[in-house]
């Protein structure tokens, strides 16, 4: 033993160390190359749309884009957390409907009823949390795949919203100060965007510096090993689903505020923006790889694209096709270098 | 399923067939896996019939089967894709696009139109498969992208309006209006296809290769399964069944539109496949049980109306029933990671 160690100490390890250094450097370049590619694509889109329509590159339109991006950004933070676990949350539109409806019925609206002010927010988000807890508990305890649990919860949320709506008149916001809050500007940018920015920062900090965030990556990377290391997998998953659903609830409030009226389908279409945005951002659907800032890039790319296409006069019929083609191109480019005969991609 | 056979049973495995049949009855879990979807459908139907006795008399079954036909056709393709461990989110959009194409082509091409549409949509499915297999991208993300493309194609092609069949529609709509035992032909097409697919999965080299990929793709590659070719075939079959669904849509409504019948069938069809005992992580599929899965999915909204659930609470009930029924029928493996 002693001899062996002596010998290895004398061996020249420069070549090995150099190789390791190269590997580290290469993985670093690969790590920033993908977000840089997205930023380049975003800049290219902005330049093209500015040339096509001078109204694109105005402060007013910037406010518009950031206002439109706020709801998918808030939902996207939660969706990123869930996808990092390797699971998926399809319930966002239902939760948005339930929370949004609860909020407007508890705020000053044309149906009358009590104006609970801040408690309306708390109550609405609590409904989201309850739905998220139900999803998480059914998923972890009954071991039903998250795809199905949250699909069911989508309809449950829609159902709760419809039951709350009842058969009366459409509840409209009567307090203009509340109704206009989301889109009115503070420091030149819309309030809804500031709210989304706070959520994004909290999401980044949670993932980077808290135990919950690190464990989320660990579970997504390899659940069996995480469990073997004493990680309370079921509890962490449940907490992540609760966080995601409360963010959907918050987004439901903002969306209802912008609409100015209560609607069960207030979240309609959000799911099919958020999941492509997360995937285009580069968060792996298998879990364990990605992050919130990548999702921000994905959301901004898709929002700028939608906004720019409308301003460029492209018929709305083409929009889902263009977004789809970009999603296909993005994932093929991202996966191209990793192709291998023995690689398994589901 | 990924269950590891204990050494004792493994040693006893090459015995005679009756032994395995007896063990099926001894193991309630496996018996439930085979009969669960049928039992759940029958129990639910019995509850509905008990609460509203007129339901079965007034063509209730015809109604359910008619509603289940397009769901069943889509679910059969989806079950094959789920069986290899992938998912096809684009098949309902392909069905809508196929229905619009069929509505346009029936007048000029007559009998050749359905065949041409089936060929085109099979090619669409094959393109999905080629990209999944050779670009090695996750099918969830890829088919989410192609879903958008097919939707846009349907919108642009139809000019965002409803396309009506202007001539030669009689032969197609006869598939819906005529039937055997009061069940429309569109549903019987699904039943025949389910039996063919069941036999294909159990007895052909291609079908066994599909299940092998779903169980363990790396293992399948090392066993010389041509995994990429098989994947292309599976996605092409998913496109083909979507084409049959578009024929069922045209047979039922005589028209097609990008936002109309069919577009909202994606999630019901996936649910039907899973209710039929298909594992979402791959390796388990029984097309015959998917028939009962599709019937259950079609029954739930009809049943909630028949029982007299408040119209506003229907989504709520639908969501809860989906979760409960899947929790009951799901293929579970002890200690397996559920995503």
| ipTM confidence | 0.79
What pLDDT is recorded for position A142? 87
Contact B339 A336 (CB under 8 A): no
Count of domains forming chain A = 1
Answer yes or no: is B183 within a domain.
yes
For residue B173, pLDDT over 50 is answered with: yes
Domain that holds residue A144: 67-297
Q: Is residue B337 within 8 angstroms of chain A, CB to CB?
A: yes
Q: What is the DSSP string of A225-243?
A: HHHHTT--HHHHHHHHHHH
Answer yes or no: is B17 within a domain.
no
Q: How far is it, in rounded angstroms, from Cα B182 to Cα B324?
A: 30
Q: In chain A, what percentage of residues exceed pLDDT 90?
A: 42
Q: How does the average pLDDT of chain A come out, rounded?
A: 87
Answer yes or no: is A2 within a domain.
no
Q: In chain B, what percentage of residues exceed pLDDT 70?
A: 87
Domain that holds residue B217: 69-263
Q: Looking at beta carbons, which residues of chain A come within 8 Å of B337?
A: 223-224
Answer yes or no: is A73 within a domain.
yes
Contact A144 B135 (CB under 8 A): no
Q: Looking at beta carbons, which residues of chain B come within 8 Å of A344?
A: 217-218
What pLDDT is recorded for position B13? 42
Answer yes or no: is B221 within a domain.
yes
Answer yes or no: is B256 within a domain.
yes
Answer yes or no: is B117 within a domain.
yes
Answer yes or no: is A291 within a domain.
yes
Q: How far is it, in rounded angstroms, from Cα B62 to Cα B131?
A: 40
8-state DSSP, B5: P
Q: How far is it, in rounded angstroms, from Cα B233 to Cα A179?
A: 53
Report the pLDDT averaged over residues B165-174.
75
Both tokens of A249, joined, read 């609830």
Q: How does the average pLDDT of chain B come out, rounded?
A: 83
Name which of A12-16, A29-33, A69-73 the model is least confident about: A29-33
Kindly provide the residue ranges of all beta strands, DSSP E only, lying in B94-240, ordered along the sequence. 163-164, 179-180, 183-184
For residue A103, pLDDT over 90 is answered with: yes
- Residue in chain B nearest A163 by alpha carbon: B312
Name which of B56-65, B77-86, B121-130, B219-228 the model is least confident about: B56-65
> Least CB-CB distance to A323: which of B148, B282, B315?
B148
For residue A307, which of A67, A22, A92 has the smallest C-alpha distance?
A67
Tell me the per-residue pLDDT of A40-49, one tens digit each, with 9 for 90 and over.
888 888 898 8
For residue B22, pLDDT over 60 is answered with: no
Q: Looking at beta carbons, which residues of chain B come within 8 Å of A160?
A: 316
Which residue is it, tokens 């049980």? B289
Cross-strand pairs, A189: A186
> Least CB-CB distance to A344: which of B145, B217, B320?
B217
Q: Is residue B1 within 8 angstroms of chain A, CB to CB?
A: no
Q: Looking at beta carbons, which residues of chain B come within 8 Å of A158?
A: 315-316, 319
Tell me the per-residue pLDDT of B129-161, one tens digit each, with 9 for 90 and over.
999 999 888 888 899 899 989 989 999 988 888
Q: Is residue B317 within 8 angstroms of chain A, CB to CB?
A: yes
Distance from CA of A261 to the nearest CA of B (A): 18
Answer yes or no: is A32 within a domain.
no
Answer yes or no: is B286 within a domain.
no
**How would residue A39 be classed by pLDDT, with cut points 50, 70 and 90?**
confident
8-state DSSP, B158: H
Q: In chain B, what percentage of residues exceed pLDDT 90?
A: 35
Phi, psi of B331 (to 5 degrees): -80, 115
What pLDDT is recorded for position B181? 78
Answer yes or no: is B255 within a domain.
yes
Count of domains forming chain B = 1
> Least CB-CB distance to A87: which of B148, B327, B339?
B339
Tell me the per-residue pLDDT of A218-261, one tens digit each, with 9 for 90 and over.
999 989 999 999 999 999 999 999 999 999 999 999 999 998 88
Answer yes or no: is B321 within a domain.
no
Answer yes or no: is A215 within a domain.
yes
Contact A328 B145 (CB under 8 A): yes
For residue B34, which of B247, B255, B289, B292 has the smallest C-alpha distance?
B289
Q: Looking at beta carbons, which residues of chain B come within 8 Å of A95?
A: none
Any idea of the CA torsion for A301, A307, A311, A317, to the nearest 10 degrees?
Answer: 100
Rg (CA), chain B: 20
Element spanning B255, H or E = strand B255-256
> Least CB-CB distance to A344: which of B155, B218, B317?
B218
Tell me the per-residue pLDDT of A280-308, one tens digit each, with 9 for 90 and over.
888 888 888 888 999 999 999 889 988 88
């Amino acid at each position: 033993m002693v001899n062996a160690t002596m010998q290895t100490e004398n061996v020249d390890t420069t070549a090995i160390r150099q190789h390791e250094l190269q590997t580290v450097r290469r993985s670093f370049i690969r790590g920033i190359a993908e977000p840089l590619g997205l930023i380049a694509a975003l800049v290219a889109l902005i330049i093209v749309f500015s040339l096509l329509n001078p109204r694109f590159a105005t402060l007013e339109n910037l406010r518009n884009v950031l206002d439109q991006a706020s709801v998918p950004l808030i939902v996207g933070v939660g969706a990123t957390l869930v996808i990092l676990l390797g699971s998926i949350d399809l319930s966002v539109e239902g939760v948005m409907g339930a929370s949004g409806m609860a909020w407007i019925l508890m705020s000053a609206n044309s149906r009358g009823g009590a104006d609970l002010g801040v408690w309306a927010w708390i109550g609405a988000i609590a409904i989201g949390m309850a739905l998220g807890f139900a999803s998480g508990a059914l998923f972890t305890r009954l071991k039903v795949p998250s795809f199905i649990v949250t699909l069911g919860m989508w309809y449950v949320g829609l159902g709760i919203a419809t039951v709350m709506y009842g058969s009366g008149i459409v509840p409209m916001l009567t307090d203009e100060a509340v109704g206009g809050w989301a889109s009115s500007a503070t420091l030149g940018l819309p309030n809804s965007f500031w709210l989304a920015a706070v959520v994004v920062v909290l999401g980044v900090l949670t993932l980077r510096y808290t135990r919950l965030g690190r464990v989320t990556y660990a579970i997504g990377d390899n659940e069996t090993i995480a469990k073997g290391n004493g990680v309370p997998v079921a509890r962490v998953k449940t907490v992540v689903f609760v966080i995601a659903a409360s963010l959907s609830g918050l987004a439901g409030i903002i969306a209802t505020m912008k609409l100015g009226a209560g609607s069960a389908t207030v979240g309609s279409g959000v799911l099919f923006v958020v999941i492509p945005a997360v995937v285009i951002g580069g968060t792996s659907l298998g879990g364990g790889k990605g992050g919130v800032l990548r999702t921000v890039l994905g959301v901004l790319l898709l929002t700028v694209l939608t906004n720019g296409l409308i301003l460029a006069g492209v018929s709305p019929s083409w929009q889902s096709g263009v977004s789809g083609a970009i999603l296909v191109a993005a994932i093929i480019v991202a996966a191209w270098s990793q192709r291998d005969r023995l690689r398994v991609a589901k | 399923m990924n269950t590891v056979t204990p050494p004792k049973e493994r040693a006893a495995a090459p015995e005679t067939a009756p032994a395995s049949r007896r063990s099926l009855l001894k193991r309630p879990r496996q018996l439930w896996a085979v009969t669960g979807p049928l039992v759940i459908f029958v129990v639910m139907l019995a509850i509905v019939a008990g609460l509203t006795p007129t339901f079965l008399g007034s063509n209730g079954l015809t109604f359910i089967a008619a509603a289940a036909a397009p769901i069943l056709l889509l679910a059969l393709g989806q079950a094959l894709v789920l069986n290899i461990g992938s998912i096809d989110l684009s098949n309902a959009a392909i069905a809508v696009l196929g229905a619009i194409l069929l509505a346009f082509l029936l007048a000029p091409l007559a009998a050749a139109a359905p065949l041409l549409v089936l060929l085109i949509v099979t090619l669409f499915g094959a393109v999905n498969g080629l990209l999944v297999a050779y670009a090695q991208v996750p099918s969830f993300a890829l088919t989410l992208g192609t879903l958008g493309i097919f939707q846009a194609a349907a919108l642009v092609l139809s000019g965002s309006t409803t396309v009506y069949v202007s001539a030669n529609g009689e032969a197609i709509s006869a598939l819906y209006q005529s039937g055997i035992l009061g069940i429309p032909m569109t549903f019987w097409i699904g039943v025949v296809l389910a039996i063919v697919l069941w036999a294909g999965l159990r007895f052909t080299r291609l079908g066994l290769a599909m299940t092998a990929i779903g169980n363990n793709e790396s293992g399948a590659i090392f066993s010389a399964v041509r995994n990429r070719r098989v994947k292309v075939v599976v996605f092409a079959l998913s496109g083909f069944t979507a084409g049959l669904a578009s024929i069922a849509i045209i047979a039922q409504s005589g028209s097609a539109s990008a936002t109309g019948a069919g577009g909202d069938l994606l999630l019901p069809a996936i649910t039907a496949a899973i209710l039929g005992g298909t594992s979402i992580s791959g390796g388990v599929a029984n097309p015959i049980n998917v028939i009962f899965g599709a019937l259950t999915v079609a029954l739930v909204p009809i049943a909630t109306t028949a029982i007299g659930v408040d119209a506003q609470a229907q989504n709520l009930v639908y969501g809860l029933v989906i979760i409960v029924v899947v929790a009951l029928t799901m293929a579970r493996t002890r200690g397996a990671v559920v995503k």
